């Protein structure tokens, strides 16, 4: 995808950001960050830089927890896929066994016709 230079305004400052994301996506991210910084600035004595660092830490924390959660889900999925593979093998075995027994029954019926 093509790189685009985006102009975003956060905490009263304008920034140029180069990204391959859509303008709408980048604007939404900038609004979200701006709102979080603004909320901190209005409810504390933090400087803009301090508020930006706290917001960055919050995002870093969320990312790390999401990565950890993603790793856990990947491991669970891998185990589930192993279980599915085992179940398929067992189903195939029992299908073949059923076909074998049905064939043996037909052969037995052909060789020993019922009296009734």
37-84 confidence digits (pLDDT tens)? 999 999 889 999 999 999 999 999 999 999 999 999 999 999 999 999
Domain membership of residue 20 (yes or no) is: yes
Domain membership of residue 80 (yes or no) is: yes
**Angle 86-90-94 (CA atoms, 0-180°, nearest 5)?**
170
Q: How far is CA 40 from CA 13, 14, 28, 93, 116, in A?
A: 16, 19, 19, 63, 90
> Which comes out higher in pLDDT, residue 98 or 107?
98
Domain membership of residue 23 (yes or no) is: yes
Domain membership of residue 115 (yes or no) is: no
Domain membership of residue 116 (yes or no) is: no
Domain membership of residue 106 (yes or no) is: yes
Q: Hey, what are 44's tokens?
A: 């504390």
CB contact at 8 A, 4 and 19: yes
Instruction: Specify the length of the chain in residues.
Output: 116
Domain hosting residue 106, numbered range:
4-110
Q: In total, how many domains does the chain have? A: 1
Domain membership of residue 16 (yes or no) is: yes
């Amino acid at each position: 995808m093509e790189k685009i230079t985006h102009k975003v305004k956060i905490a009263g400052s304008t920034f140029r950001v180069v990204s391959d994301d859509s303008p709408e996506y980048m604007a939404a991210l900038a609004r979200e960050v701006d709102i979080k910084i603004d909320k901190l600035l209005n409810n504390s004595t933090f400087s803009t830089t301090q508020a930006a660092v706290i917001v960055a830490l919050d995002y870093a924390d969320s990312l790390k927890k999401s990565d950890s959660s993603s790793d856990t889900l990947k491991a669970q999925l891998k185990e589930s896929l192993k279980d599915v593979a085992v179940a398929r093998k067992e189903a195939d075995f029992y299908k073949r066994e059923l076909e074998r027994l049905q064939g043996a029954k037909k052969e037995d019926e052909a060789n020993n016709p019922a009296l009734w």
